Structure 1
């Protein structure tokens, strides 16, 4: 095969020397010299390699129009500074004057080798493209400058019909992606060359200008220095997440952010509270009972709008609609006097306002509790101030430490003493509540629940002593007693069983070693489920994720408890390798009567199914709730409809009860 090499240079002597040199060194090579660019003939565009003296660079644009796209170009340069002139040209090389024939010969040999490989590479690309074209995802490939391949799905997505149209529509590669929060847009050569980045989220406007979200995956092809970009459509998951966000974080009636949203912002540290005011409508139940719920709902909305009107000009103030007839105004600015005056103004405005609904004119009053406490939780202390103001018939009260110190101290001492006695006399026991498989109606699992047995035999719920155990440094001991007694109870029983642990347990240095020792002793790792409550105590999610991975490696399973409560975090959930979601009791107990609870429960179940997670409905207290959660697709039910927590697992009695019913 013969190769054509064109040389644009006015050094005829050097060219003649090159021709003599090539007779022995370069076979099957035809050299053609053009000392004047006006003499370029019609065969010039067929040349395989162009060698051009830098002095002709000012004519390069004219020369380039004649050349085919993939030609290789070698510039004859005189100085290193000449490289700046040619830096933006693709597929170029350079060699210094005076010409070194051996160097040029080596370059020609290398380029001929590349030319000979091109047909094979082209066949491979055609084969690869035919495979890619039949993949159902939108796919394109790029060299960092332009799109060099697109399958039919990407053409359809962008409403384009050719590569020329694509590259005209998107002048730069990064223009393919629409700017959207949390979405990547900076696709460029630097990003493409980073081997650590292989997957990210992007937004693209489709042919109807709708936002479509994709998980972007890139694959680097070494043979031609290009990247294949694969787009996996995740629009449904994003839409699902946004819908769930609205249900979880917005009050269904007033459309203001709710308590759950405030808790989420506090947990994520997007809000730093300097002041909190809780406001409550006095005797609102009487308004509901006398005028009806439609009137009551109208007043709740009007009050929210009135409060918001008073604070909306202040950027540091924000309104949250709490459950029932409660409202919360927070401030991120430390200005106590101004905040108190503004809250007094809101109370006065509500009092003076006449709320009208159809033919009714209704007067209402509100009570407020305000907290600036830096020692205690401002939401809790504001609530203490609110309740105290109501008891003392005051319009408002600002929290001060003495409001609850004595009562708290007295209560702590009482239960600390009881816990100590229970440890001494081995009166910490584990009770068991069955989890029923919603398809088979059989008990598949049990949850292990701690109980304190008083000297008179009375069974005490952890509600009274669990928090005290943490404050009195007895929680670690309590958890380990529950774990060992649970493991021992189920050692010879054919059921899965779950035990509750907290972040305090997980971050304890020797807790994982304790679990390993229990698993080694009782050999039941494949039946243990650790229930973790995701709450405000979690400071390091990496620690939590690492713990989950460790216990999963031992053969255990993981459940997230109270999912759907104020602290549930969907971004974190996607990073955790869990098996079960236990839907929060506050949702399940209202699922038959409250539309929002029903919608959130339904969305959580669908969300879990998309992630191949099993769902457990807690607080199934009656047949109506059971039928609803079962119809929604929950996998398991737990609650007093089936059985209260019992001292000894007794499946036969439960099955008799179900058969009888």
Structure 2
């Protein structure tokens, strides 16, 4: 780019300067004009104008022809000449005698400034061009007003100029909507916190719809401005919102669910003073009889009724738990009011007739209420609910005597112990001898499970057998006992028994497991499966079929604890068993209780009529042994002969009795 320097000097004092400056000034065209007439035709656009004070009148003439504002340097003789310079003009001054180098320096300084300005303008135009083509809304601000915006930001805000933007938004913070989780103050955007987490803002678009953006601030220190870059995350926010609803809202009733209550307790500082769990009585029957569509309708209507009852209580909130359970939490200490309200809700549900198509359905609810400060209110409210159902009460308030936390803690302790025993192979089989009452020889053994603790202590199944059932580990335990028992008696001459339950028999692959073990170990003619006849037996045909299958494999079967409250003589006639083990509660009282004696005698006589062998358990002393021997029992088992031992012992007990 070339620059034009015009010198107005009728004294022709600058001829030498023109020659001198050619080596000093690049891209510069210097023109000397001794008279104004020559200059008028070329003066419209000039970059630098050098005027000698003696030619000031010429300058006043040509000033009218200038169409730009050139850089002007006046050459004066002394300060008295300053008064001749027009006040309206911005100019530089040099004194005579003229120093060419100083003049060249000033011209160069101006040219450099012009170049820098052009460079900055080009850079700005280039940057704006790039920013306008970036697919994000971007604007820059001086902290109070918007000083630049790209096309995407104009489109977002439905504005068409900076003037319109600054009129619409009095401050930059007015751009942002006050939404949960969003910032509205740009001062909160620092380099540090944007590194730690993604901050977001909410802006209404041209359709007045709320859109969400992650926001980034770039500070320009040279002019103390900020560039704000917005990345549309509306879809992500909407997706998270939908996911939140899925996680924390009951899909059917649209009320917050149990997970939401836990979230409120853990992260939102919800302080519970009381909790009530309400459950619809016999709701499964409603579903089974009327169908799930009707059941779902009732669940929704019940939720609406409860919500209506508590809507005027700011301290109460309803949560919909799984299935047919509702939870009301109270954040205020209003015990009597809360209990009365729960009772009113139960009465309202009872009086309401739920109509679906042509069905009229009556519903009753039961509630458990907890004000407990001792333990988790959700758990204690559930304990109260289950107790109320059991006692057929409309509601029950938790009290300390219902507290089962010690039982829960014990269950968790033994569940963990049992799991560890499985992993470390610490389940062992002990044996207790069965003595032939005629020969006093040990003919058989019963295999009994034991758990070996970490410190080598032998643990009785009393502590972990029921826990294994509750924790779904019972069948696994049974299979371990069976395999270890088979292995223990594989090469011994004794008959031996293992205990199995109806739960085992119900398992579809249990019989296959037994067949597999019988192939592996040579015990099929010596193993006896002891089955407990109790309240868990739902299908006697299945039980009888299992017994027949086992016996066809060469094994024997015993009914355990016969004579207890669940024993059934009629069922026994249909079961092709080999032994009856008389219930321990009868045997231990046979010497001191007449009824026990009579029942024991009847069982033994009944068994003999069916050609069944009888085994008396719990023979603790000689008196009991003599009685059951006299009554005709075939075998005795108990501590009078031996406690359970690790390995079988031959011919010990005959010598002991004799």
TM tier relative to shorter chain: 0.3 to 0.5
**TM score, norm. by length of structure 1:** 0.47
Query: Which has the larger Rg?
Result: 2
TM-score, normalisation: structure 2: 0.47
